[in-house]
């Protein structure tokens, strides 16, 4: 398995865009047989060619990083640092592929047997994320080792004599090139609260010359002697080192400590034996004196004494127990990785799984002994495909092969790997044929545990934890699987991969390429996993798989067409692809016309979108450099090979571009391109870095090239970054560790003018630098992502300081920068993405006139405070935000300027104070009010007092004077907006479509914003249609009054704005009373006759312009 990285940048004020390719050497021999191209590429970026890693280099680099911070604190400098925070989400949503929520690799699980139920204490080790602990049976997790010297955990063990003592072997023994080296054994004596590194002198300082396992040890197995009531128990560790050279013995095998891990002695092979690649892959204790260990012959060497060994003297001496004739393990050059599991309930019963080297990593077979190893017999396998790559661990048995036995049932065995359903169980001890095996991973819970199982631990009452390449899972119903059939309903698994928990083991495993759409929006994340890799779309809450074609592929956007996305698959994987719809599944198409798919290339070839004005250009690098100017053409994007032109090399030789980039044996080439200012198309400068250490450049868009070779180390170039302050210079970052006579650093500043480079590594730790970035607003500030953290320089790289606090001690792979958000994101190995808030810009701020105030006349004197690192100021004065239609002043470096000719009509004025910092303009905006008073807008149509013709009407008005905004109130009373409120902004017209149609009177107020004051003009209109007159409700029409006084009440009617009442002795007369009630629907009349005569009452309702009536008769008392 191998994950790798690169950095993809969004455009900044300077278009410093880069295209990089790393030239990977091809490892050969038995060491390389398990290495994929991506694995090989990763490894060679950390090894000195042919020499490996210098002794103790990683541990020394960690101490150098710590020393930088210690010196800062001692000197009282850089004391107040911002804190890194984990970016959310912290996991991938791979539901589309049936895998649910996934995250980083879990390599080891240890359960405290003194706990149980909901309070079960569980420890897990992760492949680069450290040790984590849960005290609630896996519901919540806490990282324990973030500040330790090494977070790559290969094994865990709880001391059975004291459950507060925890051992964590560092370095992964998964035989993948991203299985980082270790540095010793982390030990805690208080349940993980504090830790110390023991055995560092033994396990952390060994050199290596092989490509595959060099440098410090990987401790893939660790076990503590049981039943030691007093004194210190023996600790055994299984390790893998690299072979040093012909005069140094290998240090791989089984190691023994009798003092709690402080000192160690190799006991298998014995310390006098010089045997390379005898990897200690499995260990367990049977009792206080008896232990078993496996030596895996992973690379098939005849000299490796592979097989199973037994010690009866507490690990001091060992004897092979590989069975006897007819009942023996077929140990030898074809018996590779070995894993074992004892049946605790039946001592002497052991299960074993072995890899077969000749099949390229397939399963050799499963075996079982019931007599402690005297005899071994093969047992059935889940898929009945032993001896091939088609059984449960596929062709990755060297990487992912697990076997476990239920401690309460010696016949209940579980195996896990990468093929089929990846997880199987047999409750008959493997003795009744493959039909007895059943899947524990059918997907019936809505998802399947992804392939790549690394750890399995039974828990009480039929439960288990499973750890793998993509996270951790738990079940409490393991026994629910049907006993007699395969692939039926199985246990219910619970994902323990919470995407929004900041304390979340691993995060999504590696984040390599984060592409920004524009300057801010994070759009995609590319990753590689050992089985199934691809592109992931990032939202604020999820990461969803959007492309599974290429492993860990870089992605870029066309900033001019945000839905156009490009990914740089290698030629071997089909070449670059394009999606014109934002990367949705099923929308990817190859764009390979003009590319030679037989090209040798980096596993992660570079791709770059350069938005040249008028001619957007795509660059793609292999051993050739290809250019496309029609990459977004949906019909036929094409590429032009820039490698056909002759170039002049640095040494004066004339060759082709292809030869220049492929020198030293056909290494793949990587190109990083830079243009100067975004407005320029004349300075087409390209920079290229290769694994032969050279920095290459072209000043004419790739037609001609030259090389710089001044004091550069013979290590791969990982990053070239154009100097944002000088387009003739480039920063180059280098991989590997200095050593073996190489004493130069990891960051260089090269000049194409002088053809020389300067080492600007300064006090940077001696560790691989994986990426460089600069602050787009303060380009004198640059960042370095290294294997031991992130560092900052503000002096061109000569002095480096700590970048933020709280970042776990993880390998940092690549950067992304958001200029708008002012954030730096680092993509790490095994702990996801972490974000650092960059220092805010300190811009000039207006001090006089006071923002928001009103000018006293047609001129004003503006004064402001200085901005940090500012080199110029300018002032915009406009009638709209950001405009300068009233005035534009280039103030130079002055902090004050007068402005005349200001309006005097009371309008709102917009003032923008611009600050020039490192070539970029930044703005603070203010509003003021002009002196004087303006004139409100007046309605031009419909005519005031007119009747609308329909329920829809368009209102138009004049601009007024000094007016910046308009709004309209529409109501049934003056000044009201019970019908509508319309904010028209700066428009002089608006349409309203739901006017009443009942003939009523409508009141409209037209408001005009003059400075900070709203001015108003009022209008009256009439709705179309006819309303309904009010009707009397009391007294009942035709009734007799009870006296000289009566209260009249009526319904509102429809479309009525006013009422009046006539009371008379004849129809329609009002000789008794006339009452104008306005909007009231009730009135009292006190002058009624009491002579028994007939009384006539007329109720009038004003509907628009028309009085409508209803007439009634009553009888006086």
Kindly write down the DSSP assignment for every residue of 692-724, as one continuous string.
Answer: TS-EEEESSTTSS-EEE-SS--SS-EEEEEE-T
Greater pLDDT, 48 or 464: 464
Domain boundaries along the sequence of the chain? 30-63+508-837, 846-929, 939-1022, 1032-1115
- Check pLDDT > 80 for residue 99: no
Q: At a CB cut-off of 8 Å and minimum separation 6, what does 272 contact?
A: none
Token look-up 């810009």 returns 841
List C-alpha distances in Å: 224 to 113, 162, 168, 396: 14, 10, 11, 29
Comparing C-alpha atoms, which of 705, 654, 670 is closest to residue 599? 670
- Asked if pLDDT for residue 768 goes beyond 90, the answer is yes
DSSP string covering 571-635, please?
Answer: GGGT--EEETTTT-TT--EE--BT--TT----SS--EEEE--TTS-EEEEESSSEEEES-TT-SS
More confident residue, 79 or 1019: 1019
Burial environment of residue 17 by CB neighbours within 10 A (0 to 12, 13 to 18, 19 or more): buried
Contacts with 586 (C-beta within 8 Å, 6 or more apart), sequence order: none
Report how far residue 1057's alpha carbon sits from residue 1079's, in angstroms, rounded to the nearest whole number: 6
In the numeric block, the tokens 């199973």 are attached to: 308
For residue 790, the model assigns a pLDDT of: 96
Q: Is the pLDDT of residue 23 over 50?
A: no
Mean per-residue pLDDT, 811-816: 87
For residue 54, what pLDDT is reported?
Answer: 75
Residue 538 pLDDT greater than 70, yes or no = no
pLDDT at 920: 85
Q: How confident is the model at residue 739 (pLDDT cuts 50, 70, 90)?
A: confident
**Has residue 574 got a pLDDT over 90?**
no
* pLDDT tens, position by position, 348-369: 999 999 999 998 899 999 999 9
pLDDT of residue 552: 53
Classified by CATH at the fold level, domain 846-929 comes out as Immunoglobulin-like (2.60.40)
Listed ranges 96-100, 137-141, 1066-1070; the one with the highest mean pLDDT: 1066-1070
pLDDT at 59 over 60: yes
Question: So what's the pLDDT on residue 683?
Answer: 47
- Which residues, at least 6 apart from 780, have a Cβ–Cβ distance to it below 8 Å? 725, 794, 795, 796, 918
Predicted confidence at residue 32, as pLDDT, reads 43
Angle of CA points 197, 338, 430, to nearest 5°:
130
In this prediction, residue 469 has a pLDDT band, given cuts at 50, 70 and 90, of confident
Q: How far apart are CA 779 and CA 919, in angstroms?
A: 9
pLDDT (mean) for 576-590: 77
More reliable by pLDDT, 5 or 690: 690
Please name the residues in contact with 193: beta carbons below 8 A apart, sequence gap of 6 or more. 144
Average pLDDT, the chain: 81
Instruction: Find the range with the poorest average confidence among 404-413, 465-474, 1097-1106.
Output: 465-474
Q: What is the pLDDT of residue 529?
A: 31
Q: Regarding predicted confidence, which is higher, 5 or 574? A: 574
Compute the distance between CA of residue 334 and CA of residue 299 in angstroms, rounded to an integer: 9
Rounded to 5 degrees, φ, ψ at 401 are: -150, 115
Given pLDDT bands bounded at 50, 70 and 90, which one contains residue 38? low
Q: What is the mean pLDDT of residues 306-327?
A: 96
> Lowest mean pLDDT: which of 66-70, 532-536, 670-674, 724-728?
670-674
Task: List the CATH code of the domain at 1032-1115.
Answer: 2.60.40.10
Q: Is the dihedral of CA 1048, 1053, 1055, 1061 positive or negative?
A: negative
Q: How far is CA 523 from the centre of its chain?
A: 9
Which region holds residue 1009: left if phi is over 0, alpha if psi is between -120 and 50, else beta?
beta
Q: Which residues, in sequence order, are bridge partners of residue 608?
A: 619
Assigned token pair, 575: 């070449």
The Cβ-side half-sphere exposure at 937, using a 13 Å CA radius, reads 27
* Mean pLDDT in residue range 469-475: 87
Q: Where residue 1 falls among pLDDT bands split at 50, 70, 90? A: very low
Q: What is the pLDDT of residue 955?
A: 97
Strands (DSSP E) contained in 87-143 are: 92-93, 101-102, 106-111, 122-126, 130-134, 142-143
What is the structure's pLDDT at 616? 66
Question: Could you tell me the fold of the domain covering 939-1022?
Answer: Immunoglobulin-like (2.60.40)
Nearest to 819 by CA among 579, 567, 559: 559
Highest mean pLDDT pick, 240-254, 374-388, 487-501, 707-721: 374-388
Tell me the average pLDDT across 607-629.
72
The count of other CB atoms within 10 Å of the CB of residue 636 is: 8
pLDDT band at 679 (very low <50, low <70, confident <90, very high): very low
Q: What pLDDT was estimated at residue 813?
A: 86
Q: Are 1077 and 1060 in contact (CB under 8 A)?
A: yes
Confidence of residue 1005 (pLDDT cuts 50, 70, 90): very high
pLDDT tens per residue across span 881-927:
999 999 999 999 999 999 999 999 999 999 999 999 988 899 999 99
49 band by pLDDT with thresholds 50, 70 and 90: low
Q: When comparing pLDDT for 940 and 481, which is higher?
A: 940
What's the Cα-to-Cα distance from 1 to each of 4, 40, 183, rounded to whole Å?
Answer: 10, 10, 21
Going from the C-alpha of 232 to that of each of 142, 184, 685, 991, the distances in angstroms are 29, 19, 65, 88
Question: Which pLDDT does position 300 carry in this prediction?
Answer: 86
Range from 197-201, 537-541, 679-683 carrying the lowest mean pLDDT: 679-683
The mean pLDDT of 813-825, rounded to a whole number, is 86
Q: How far is CA 111 from CA 124, 138, 734, in A?
A: 9, 11, 42
> Would you say residue 1039 has pLDDT above 70?
yes
Portion of the chain with pLDDT greater than 90, in percent: 53
**Domain 939-1022 matches domain 1032-1115 at the CATH topology level:** yes
Over residues 1099-1112, mean pLDDT: 94
* pLDDT greater than 70 at residue 342: yes
Residue 1037 predicted with pLDDT over 70: yes
**498: Cβ–Cβ under 8 A, 6 or more apart, which residues?**
90, 91, 101, 504
3-class DSSP state of 516: strand
Beta strand pairing status for 812-818 and 577-579?
unpaired
pLDDT band at 1089 (very low <50, low <70, confident <90, very high): very high
What is the percent of the chain with per-residue pLDDT over 70, rounded to a whole number?
A: 78
Average pLDDT over residues 1088-1101: 95
Q: What is the distance between the alpha carbons of residues 1073 and 1065, in angstroms, rounded to a whole number?
A: 10
Percent helix / strand / coil, the chain, rounded to 5? 5, 40, 55
The DSSP 8-state label assigned to residue 491 in this structure reads P
- DSSP letter for 201, please: H
Pair type for strands 1032-1034 and 1073-1078: unpaired
Q: Transcribe 947-986 into DSSP letters.
A: BPSSS-EEEEE---BSEEEEEEEEESSTT--SSEEEEEET
Least confident window among 123-127, 651-655, 714-718: 651-655
**Confidence grade of residue 521 (pLDDT, cut at 50, 70, 90):** very low
Structure confidence by residue, pLDDT tens digits, 748-764: 999 988 989 999 999 99
Average pLDDT value for residue range 1007-1016: 93
Residue-wise pLDDT for 632-677, tens only, equals 776 778 888 875 433 333 233 323 333 333 222 222 333 333 222 2
Stronger pLDDT, 90 or 410, i.e. the higher one: 410
Range in 24-33, 320-329, 712-721, 988-997 the model is least confident about: 24-33
Considering only CA atoms, which of 605, 626, 507 is closest in space to residue 556? 605
| Cα 379 to chain centroid, rounded | 45
Q: Residue 185 belongs to what H/E stretch?
A: strand 185-188
DSSP label of 518: T
30-63+508-837 is classed CATH 2.130.10.10: yes
- What mean pLDDT comes out for the span 805-812? 92
The answer to whether the predicted template modeling score (pTM) of the entire model surpasses 0.85 is: no
User: Where would I find the beta strands (DSSP E) of 225-326?
Assistant: 235-240, 253-257, 265-268, 279-285, 291-296, 307-311, 319-320, 323-324
Query: Does the structure show a pLDDT above 80 at 41?
Result: no
Helix H or strand E segment including 61: helix 57-75
Confidence of residue 563 (pLDDT cuts 50, 70, 90): low
The answer to whether 470 and 529 are in contact (CB under 8 A) is: yes
pLDDT band at 215 (very low <50, low <70, confident <90, very high): low
């Amino acid at each position: 398995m191998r994950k790798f990285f690169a950095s993809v940048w969004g455009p900044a004020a300077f278009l410093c865009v880069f295209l990089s390719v790393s030239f990977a050497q091809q490892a050969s021999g038995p060491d390389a047989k398990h290495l994929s191209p991506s694995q090989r590429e990763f490894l060679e970026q950390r090894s000195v060619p042919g020499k490996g890693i210098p002794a103790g280099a990683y541990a020394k680099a960690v101490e150098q990083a710590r020393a930088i911070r210690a010196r800062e604190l001692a000197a009282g400098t850089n004391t107040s640092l911002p804190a890194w925070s984990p970016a959310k989400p912290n996991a991938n949503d791979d539901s589309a592929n049936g895998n649910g929520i996934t995250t980083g690799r879990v390599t080891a699980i240890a359960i405290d047997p003194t706990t149980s139920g909901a309070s079960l204490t569980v420890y897990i080790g992760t492949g680069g994320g450290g040790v984590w602990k849960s005290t609630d049976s896996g519901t919540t997790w806490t990282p324990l080792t973030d500040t330790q010297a090494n977070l790559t955990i290969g094994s865990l063990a709880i001391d059975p004599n004291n459950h507060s003592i925890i051992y964590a072997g560092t370095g992964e023994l998964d035989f993948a090139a991203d299985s980082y080296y270790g540095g010793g054994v982390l030990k805690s004596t208080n349940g993980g609260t504090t830790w110390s590194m023991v055995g560092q002198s033994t396990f952390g300082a060994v050199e290596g010359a092989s490509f595959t396992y060099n440098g410090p040890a990987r401790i893939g197995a660790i076990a503590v002697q049981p039943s030691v009531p007093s004194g210190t128990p023996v600790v055994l560790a299984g390790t893998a080192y690299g072979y040093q050279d012909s005069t140094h013995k290998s240090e791989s095998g089984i190691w023994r400590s009798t003092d709690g891990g402080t000192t160690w002695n190799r006991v298998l092979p014995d310390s006098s034996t010089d045997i390379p690649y005898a990897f200690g892959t499995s260990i367990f204790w049977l009792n206080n004196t008896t232990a078993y260990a496996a030596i895996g012959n992973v690379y098939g060497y005849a000299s490796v004494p592979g097989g199973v060994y037994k010690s009866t003297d507490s690990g001091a001496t060992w004897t092979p127990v590989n069975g006897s004739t007819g009942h023996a393990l077929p140990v030898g050059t074809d018996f590779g990785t070995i894993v074992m599991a004892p049946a605790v309930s039946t001592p002497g019963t052991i299960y074993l799984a072995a890899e077969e080297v000749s099949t390229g990593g397939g399963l050799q077979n499963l075996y079982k002994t019931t007599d402690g190893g005297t005899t071994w017999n093969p047992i059935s396998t889940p898929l009945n495909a032993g001896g091939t790559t088609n059984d449960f661990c596929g062709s990755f048995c060297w990487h992912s092969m697990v076997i476990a036995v239920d401690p309460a049932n010696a016949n209940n065995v579980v195996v896990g790997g990468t093929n089929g359903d990846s997880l199987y169980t047999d409750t008959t001890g493997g003795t009744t044929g493959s039909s007895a095996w059943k899947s524990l991973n059918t997907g019936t819970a809505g998802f399947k545990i992804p392939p790549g199982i690394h750890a399995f631990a039974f828990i009480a009452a039929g439960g288990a934890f499973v750890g793998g390449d993509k996270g951790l899972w738990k079940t409490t119903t393991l026994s629910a699987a049907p006993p007699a059939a395969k692939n039926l309903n199985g246990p219910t698994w619970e994902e323990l991969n919470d995407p929004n928990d900041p304390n979340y083991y691993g995060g999504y495993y590696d984040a390599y390429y984060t592409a920004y759409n524009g300057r801010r929006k994070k759009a995609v994340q590319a990753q590689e996993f050992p089985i199934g890799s691809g592109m992931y779309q990032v939202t604020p809450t999820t990461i969803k798989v959007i492309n599974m074609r290429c492993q860990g592929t870089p992605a870029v956007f066309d900033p001019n067409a945000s839905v156009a996305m490009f990914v740089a698959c290698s030629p071997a994987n089909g070449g670059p692809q394009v999606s014109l719809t934002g990367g949705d599944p099923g929308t990817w198409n190859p764009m390979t016309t003009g590319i030679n798919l037989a090209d040798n290339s980096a596993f992660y070839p570079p791709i770059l979108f350069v938005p040249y004005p008028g001619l957007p250009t795509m660059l793609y690098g292999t051993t050739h450099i290809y250019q496309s100017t029609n990459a977004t053409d949906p019909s036929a994007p094409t590429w032009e090979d820039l490698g056909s032109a002759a170039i002049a090399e640095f040494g004066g030789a004339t060759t082709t571009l292809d030869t220049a980039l492929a020198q030293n044996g056909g290494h793949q080439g990587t190109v990083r391109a830079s243009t100067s200012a975004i407005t320029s198309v004349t300075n087409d400068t390209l920079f290229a870095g290769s694994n032969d250490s050279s920095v290459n450049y072209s000043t004419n868009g790739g037609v001609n090239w030259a090389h710089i070779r001044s004091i550069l180390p013979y290590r791969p170039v990982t990053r070239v970054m154009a100097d944002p302050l000088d387009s003739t210079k480039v920063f180059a970052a280098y991989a590997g560790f200095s050593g073996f006579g190489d004493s130069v650093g990891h960051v260089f500043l090269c000049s194409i003018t002088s053809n020389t480079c300067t080492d600007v590594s300064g006090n940077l730790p001696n560790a691989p630098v994986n990426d460089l970035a600069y602050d787009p607003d303060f380009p004198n500030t640059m960042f370095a992502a290294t294997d031991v953290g992130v560092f900052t320089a503000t002096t061109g790289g000569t002095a480096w300081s700590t970048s933020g606090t709280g970042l776990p001690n993880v390998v940092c792979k690549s950067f992304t920068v958001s200029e708008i958000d002012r954030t730096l994101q680092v993509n790490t190995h095994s702990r996801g993405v972490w974000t650092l808030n960059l220092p805010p810009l300190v811009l000039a701020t207006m001090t006089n006139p006071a923002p928001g105030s009103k000018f006293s006349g047609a001129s004003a004197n503006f004064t402001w405070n200085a901005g940090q690192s500012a080199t110029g100021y300018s002032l915009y004065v406009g009638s709209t935000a950001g405009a300068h239609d009233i005035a534009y002043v280039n103030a130079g470096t002055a902090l004050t300027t007068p402005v005349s000719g200001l309006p005097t009509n009371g309008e709102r004025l917009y003032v923008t104070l611009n600050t020039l910092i490192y070539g970029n303009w930044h703005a603070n905006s203010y509003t003021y009010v002009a002196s004087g008073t303006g004139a409100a807008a007046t309605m031009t149509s419909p005519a005031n007092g007119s009747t609308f013709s329909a329920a829809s009407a368009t209102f138009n008005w004049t601009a007024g004077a000094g007016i910046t905004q308009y709004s309209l109130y529409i109501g049934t009373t003056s000044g009201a907006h019970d019908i509508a409120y319309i904010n028209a902004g700066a428009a002089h017209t608006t349409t309203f479509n739901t006017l009443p149609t009942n003939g009523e009177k409508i009141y409209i107020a037209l408001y005009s914003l003059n400075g900070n004051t709203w001015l108003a003009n009022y209008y009256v209109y009439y709705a179309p249609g006819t309303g309904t007159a009010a009707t009397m409700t009391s007294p009942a029409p035709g009734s007799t009054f009870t006296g000289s006084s009566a209260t009249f009440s009526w319904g509102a009617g429809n479309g009525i704005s006013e009422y009046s009442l006539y009371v008379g002795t004849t129809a329609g007369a009002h000789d008794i009373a006339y009452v104008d009630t306005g909007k009231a629907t009730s009135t009292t009349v006190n002058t009624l006759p009491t002579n028994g005569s007939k009384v006539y009452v007329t109720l009038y309702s004003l509907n628009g312009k028309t009085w409508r009536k209803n007439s009634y008769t009553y009888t006086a008392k």
